[in-house]
């Protein structure tokens, strides 16, 4: 088979760029050549993850400044959700630049997700296009299908937001009540020349030559089939594309390894909410008080709350003294996969970003979910309602959760005698066995590469 050359142009968010790099590594391991288009400062942060520099080439991009965003903004990292469409706008302004790179590098195929205009360029250049999605099939099936009516010239009404797409294959894996109304921002057309996130994704899937998703049939089979039937296209799966070797190549930072090592096996509760989430100060304080209330050792890694320069500034009065020796609250990035595989860690409290969802499933930890927005809600419901491998922290209509509800959820899975704890542990361990079956994930990539060869050869 002749060599395939793929260009990749993911949404400017770390939660998208990182899984694209994992896929690039998996493909390069099978001899495929990759041209990766990335904002230039972001490139410096992730280039060490390129395991095949002979096959994966990064192309630096300059992201134009856009009114309403701090100058030099490249990704949605630290940008409030209400302004994320401006990052999409900046991405759209790069059309000509991207076309020039594709025209010069001449790949056979382009992978993209939010840049819905890529197929217009690739058709002119005689290149194939594949929309590759690193959010769940569940989220795409619920929100981003032709069966969902999305008006082009106005935001969706409450009734439209509450409507379930016809044929959607679940009655439980979905946002509830007030959460549905919070999806309104996805449907807002943002002005001259800009389209809503709903329309962006639906157009992206509809116009590409194929649709690919970072998932497995074992977890999301029926949602993949629904997407295939909605678009009349086959859906190609890459499996979960988690790097297998990270724990071996990058040992956990010594200070954390030592601290965690001071506790008995499976006793520490770890909490992290991904690369984007910035808590409000009062919710953050309630969260840490919830951990205090459990009486268990804990390790929280989270960005400083809105309006606080450091995490220490945001802690409740007397908190540090009271939890000294059994609790850490760290305001920066930690090595999540390595922490999840530390023998002392027994529970993961997660916002349920798609990356964290897979990492949680492939760990031996009990899982507690605290979803905040759009796709996180879908992943959380998938784990709790359908797979029954996790418990969810109760929230009120204003998305607020109390220290008591957080503490109860954690204790319910950490208490060795709890029926719910025993049930989710058993289900999780059975699923992990299925997903961890030797050769399963590499078979996904092999089949995926085979499908790409067919796609490239097709007329």
Ligand X SMILES: O=c1ccn([C@@H]2O[C@H](COP(=O)(O)OP(=O)(O)O[C@H]3O[C@H](CO)[C@@H](O)[C@H](O)[C@H]3O)[C@@H](O)[C@H]2O)c(=O)[nH]1
Residues in contact with ligand X by the rule CB under 6 A:
13-16, 19, 134-135, 272, 274-276, 301, 333-337, 353-356, 359, 375-376
Give the residue with the Cβ less far from ligand X, 10 or 107: 10
Which tokens sit at 69? 């965003």
Q: How far is the CB of 104 from ligand X (least distance, A)?
A: 29
Cα-Cα-Cα-Cα torsion 356, 361, 367, 371, nearest 10 degrees, comes to: 40
Give the residue with the Cβ less far from ligand X, 286 or 338: 338
Give the residue with the Cβ less far from ligand X, 215 or 336: 336
Q: How far is the CB of 440 from ligand X (least distance, A)?
A: 20
Give the residue with the Cβ less far from ligand X, 141 or 456: 141
Q: How far is the CB of 352 from ligand X (least distance, A)?
A: 7
Which tokens sit at 42? 């972001």
Residue nearest to ligand X (CB): 15
Give the residue with the Cβ less far from ligand X, 335 or 344: 335
Give the residue with the Cβ less far from ligand X, 284 or 354: 354
Question: CA 211 → CA 124, 128, 203, 361, 375, distances in Å?
Answer: 20, 12, 12, 24, 18
Q: How far is the CB of 21 from ligand X (least distance, A)?
A: 11
Q: How far is the CB of 342 from ligand X (least distance, A)?
A: 13
Q: Which residue(s) pair with 390 in the sheet?
A: 367
Distance from C-alpha of 161 to C-alpha of 158, rounded to nearest angstrom: 5
Q: Collapse the DSSP code of 20 into the 3-class scheme (helix H, G, I; strand E, B; otherwise coil) and give the result.
A: helix
Q: Which residue(s) pair with 327 in the sheet?
A: 298
Give the residue with the Cβ less far from ligand X, 115 or 456: 115
Q: How far is the CB of 108 from ligand X (least distance, A)?
A: 25
Which tokens sit at 429? 């361990």
Give the residue with the Cβ less far from ligand X, 209 or 338: 338
Q: How far is the CB of 216 from ligand X (least distance, A)?
A: 15
Which tokens sit at 221? 């089979």
Q: How far is the CB of 321 from ligand X (least distance, A)?
A: 25
Distance from C-alpha of 219 to C-alpha of 240, rounded to nearest angstrom: 10
Cβ-Cβ contacts under 8 Å for 2 (sequence gap 6 or more): none
Long-range Cβ contacts of 68-77 (<8 Å, 24+ apart): 72/41, 74/12, 74/39, 74/40, 74/41, 74/42, 75/12, 75/13, 75/14, 75/17, 75/39, 75/42, 76/11, 76/12, 76/13, 76/276, 77/13, 77/14, 77/275, 77/276
DSSP track, 198-211 = HHHHHHHHHHSSEE
């Amino acid at each position: 088979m002749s060599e395939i050359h793929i260009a990749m142009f993911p949404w400017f968010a770390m939660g998208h760029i990182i899984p694209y790099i994992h896929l690039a590594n998996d493909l390069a391991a099978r001899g495929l050549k990759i041209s990766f288009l990335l904002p230039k400062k972001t490139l410096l942060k992730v280039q060490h993850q390129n395991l095949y520099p002979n096959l994966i080439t990064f192309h630096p991009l300059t992201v134009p400044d856009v009114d309403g965003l701090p100058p030099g903004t490249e990704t949605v990292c630290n940008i409030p959700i209400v302004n994320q469409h401006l990052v999409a706008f900046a991405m759209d302004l790069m059309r000509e630049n991207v076309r020039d790179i594709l025209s010069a590098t001449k790949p056979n195929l382009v992978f993209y997700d939010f840049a819905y205009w890529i197929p217009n360029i690739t058709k002119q250049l005689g290149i194939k296009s594949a929309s590759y999605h690193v959010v769940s099939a569940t989220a795409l099936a619920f929100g981003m299908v032709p069966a969902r009516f999305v008006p082009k010239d106005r935001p969706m009404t409450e009734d439209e937001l509450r409507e379930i797409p016809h044929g959607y294959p679940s009655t439980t894996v979905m946002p509830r009540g007030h959460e549905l109304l919070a999806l309104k921002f996805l449907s807002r057309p943002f002005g001259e020349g800009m389209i809503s996130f709903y329309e962006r994704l639906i157009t992206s899937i509809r116009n590409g030559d194929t649709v690919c998703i970072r998932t497995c049939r074992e977890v999301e089979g029926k949602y993949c089939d629904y997407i295939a039937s909605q678009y009349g296209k086959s859906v190609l799966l890459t499996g979960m594309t988690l790097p297998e070797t990270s724990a071996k190549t990058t040992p956990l930072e010594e200070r954390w390894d030592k601290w965690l090592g001071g506790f008995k096996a499976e006793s520490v509760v770890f909490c992290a909410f991904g690369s984007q989430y910035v808590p409000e100060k009062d919710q953050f304080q309630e969260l840490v008080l919830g951990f205090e209330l459990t009486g268990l050792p804990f390790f929280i890694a989270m960005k400083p709350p809105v309006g606080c320069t450091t995490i220490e500034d945001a802690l409740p009065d007397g908190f540090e003294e009271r939890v000294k020796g059994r609790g850490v609250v760290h305001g920066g990035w930690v090595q999540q996969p390595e922490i999840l595989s530390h023998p002392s860690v027994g529970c993961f409290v997660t916002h349920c970003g798609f990356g964290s969802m897979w990492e949680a499933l492939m760990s031996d930890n009990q899982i507690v979910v605290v979803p905040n927005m759009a796709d996180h809600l879908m992943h959380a419901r998938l784990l709790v309602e359908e797979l029954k491998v996790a418990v969810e922290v109760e929230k009120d209509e204003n998305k607020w959760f109390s220290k008591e509800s957080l503490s109860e959820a954690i204790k319910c899975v950490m208490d060795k005698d709890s029926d719910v704890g025993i049930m989710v542990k058993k289900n999780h361990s059975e699923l992990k066995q299925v997903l961890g079956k030797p050769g399963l994930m590499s078979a996904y990539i092999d089949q995926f590469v085979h499908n790409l060869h067919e796609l490239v050869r097709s007329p």
